[in-house]
Structure 1
Amino acid sequence: MDIHQPLFNELILHLDAPPHDGPWNMAADQAWLELSAVPVLRVYRWTEPTATIGYAQSLTKLGDSLPQWPIVRRWTGGGVVLHDNDYTYSVIVPAVHPWSQTNPLESYRLVHDSLARALDDGSRLAGMEDLIENPFCFVAPALHDVIRDKVKVSGAGQRRGKLGLLHQGSVQQVTLGEDFWPRWAAQLAANVLTTHEMPPAMLKRANELTQKRYSLASWLNEREDAL
């Protein structure tokens, strides 16, 4: 695949301007994954500083290393991400789209390569020589994260399953203009439909997922929900 070709034929760019709390943000991503027929780039904000932890991380082991912020467990993997003045996005590819079957490492590389080129500030993909192990995502570049010099500017967690591919990413330590997301979306897809709203069925599902999964203490502590 030519990495300089668009990844998708069409894409919904969801500029979700009103800030949301952590559980609702996680639920909205899953609702898009379940119900959209085409890939989505969702860009969103937070009502307050929030920490997200990866699906497989142990809250007990993280212990006192986490700030005294609201914490929510993601459905995706990866490490702890502190969301405080960062730029948060998700690339959501439903199972009906063939790209959702892209090899995990390759999909990670392709999304981040496109992001690095859109940043156009000397950012590049992390190689083996850049890797660091740490439970906090932005202290520890992983293979194909986006770095500038030795500073990690973007990382992500992924989940792949019967619903498709969910790539939840954060961009930090850079300043992005309002034109960045439409410009990146145009690089990701040949045809982009921009929306500021979720369809009613997705809003209903996001509210259900908020209540029955992402806001539950049992989900945060043990990955158990009421679904």
Structure 2
Amino acid sequence: MTRWRLLDTGAQPASFNMAIDEALFQLHVRGESQPTLRFYSWDPPAVSLGYFQKHSAIDFASCRELGIDIVRRLTGGRAVLHANDLTYSVVVDSGQGIPSSFEAVYRLLCQGLLEGFRLLGFEGEHGREEMECSSSDICFAHATVADIVYQGRKFVGNAQTWQGAALLQHGSIVLEPQEETWAAIVKTDSRESLRAQLKSRITSLREILGRGIDLDELKRAITTGLTERLQVEFEVGELSSQEWALAIEIASSRSRRREKHLSADQRK
């Protein structure tokens, strides 16, 4: 049975969360980091933008007022709100028991998540056709085969990037309702209309289970589900000194670029 490392890095700032995943991915591409499932959360809350996404609908001023950070991730897709969610990342390659097709990998990993949700007492299902919404920039307003829904409403979104045979997949599991926050940070002609649209398209584990969920309970269920579906063995581990050093370097580099851009904007 293939062994994967299980990491739980807790709550981190947005830039450092993305730097850790980038470090894991870079080192895995070089053959210097093992297959890894990582759980984490965000402090402060953040919006992550897809790698190629234009972000015109996100109101940066409102985000700043609410203490919500903005970060761009390596994976594709649309904006994801990381407030009252559990985020996971998977770093692996197609030579380690996963398919080489992006859609097949989405289905396989989602099957593992679905197994975990069954352990929590409910049946989710794969997303199907993309759902239309007036705000196309919000990931959770749309459900595709990469995602998981409950009774037609999405609560898990996923995104990928590949380099050669190596994969980085991000996933966000919504724990608490998010439509009020979204309505406060998206530019729209009608916040009430957007709020109603999102409520009809997005759900959360609290709404599904009728209770708040303990994060450790959720992580155990997901890990068990992925173990059964992927036929892998998870071993609890930590970031290596090499991974920490590279993550710090990446985060510092991004911070310097951001400060440079802010200074340039201020001189205009």
Q: 2:128 aligns to what?
A: 127
Q: 2:47 aligns to what?
A: 51
| Maintained 8 Å contact 1:13/1:41 | yes
Alignment of 1:24-173 (within 5 A): 24-36=16-28, 37-59=33-55, 61-64=56-59, 67-68=63-64, 69-94=68-93, 97-99=95-97, 102-120=100-118, 121-128=122-129, 131-132=131-132, 134-162=136-164, 164-172=166-174, 173=204
Q: Tell me the alpha carbon deviations over residues 19-60 of structure 1, each in whole angstroms, 9 at most, x when there is no partner.
A: 11011101101111222443110001111111100000113x
Structure 1 pair 144/163, CA: closer, same or farther in 2 (3 Å)? Answer: closer
| Maintained 8 Å contact 1:10/1:189 | no
Q: Tell me the alpha carbon deviations over residues 131-157 of structure 1, each in whole angstroms, 9 at most, x when there is no partner.
A: 335210112112241000021010111
Alignment-mate amino acid for residue 139 of structure 2: C
SS in 1 for 2:92: strand
Give the TM-score normalised by structure 2. Answer: 0.70
Matched, 1:9 2:23: no
| Maintained 8 Å contact 1:22/1:50 | yes
| Maintained 8 Å contact 1:10/1:191 | yes
CA drift at 1:201: 0.4
**Correspondence for 1:216 among 257, 262, 265:** 257
- Supply the distance in 2 between the matched residues of 1:192 and 1:76 (Cα, whole angstroms): 24
CA drift at 1:98: 4.7
- Supply the distance in 2 between the matched residues of 1:104 and 1:16 (Cα, whole angstroms): 26
- Supply the distance in 2 between the matched residues of 1:15 and 1:21 (Cα, whole angstroms): 15
Structure 1 stretches of 5 or more lacking a match? 1-7, 222-227
Give the TM-score normalised by structure 1. Answer: 0.81
Flag the structure with larger Rg. 2
- Supply the distance in 2 between the matched residues of 1:12 and 1:220 (Cα, whole angstroms): 37
Structure 1 pair 185/108, CA: closer, same or farther in 2 (3 Å)? Answer: closer
SS in 2 for 1:152: strand
| Maintained 8 Å contact 1:54/1:74 | yes
Q: 1:200 aligns to what?
A: 241
Alignment-mate amino acid for residue 47 of structure 2: A
% identical aligned pairs: 25
Structure with greater proportional helix content: 2
Q: How many residues align?
A: 209
| Maintained 8 Å contact 1:100/1:165 | no
- Supply the distance in 2 between the matched residues of 1:160 and 1:184 (Cα, whole angstroms): 24
Structure 1 pair 215/149, CA: closer, same or farther in 2 (3 Å)? Answer: farther
- Supply the distance in 2 between the matched residues of 1:220 and 1:159 (Cα, whole angstroms): 26
SS in 2 for 1:198: coil
Q: Which runs of 4+ in 1 moved over 3 A?
A: 65-68, 97-101, 130-133, 213-216, 218-221
Structure with greater proportional strand content: 1
Higher relative contact order (CA 8 A, sep 6+): 1
Structure 2 stretches of 5 or more lacking a match? 175-203, 206-212, 263-268
Q: 2:184 aligns to what?
A: none
Root-mean-square deviation (CA), in Å?
2.6
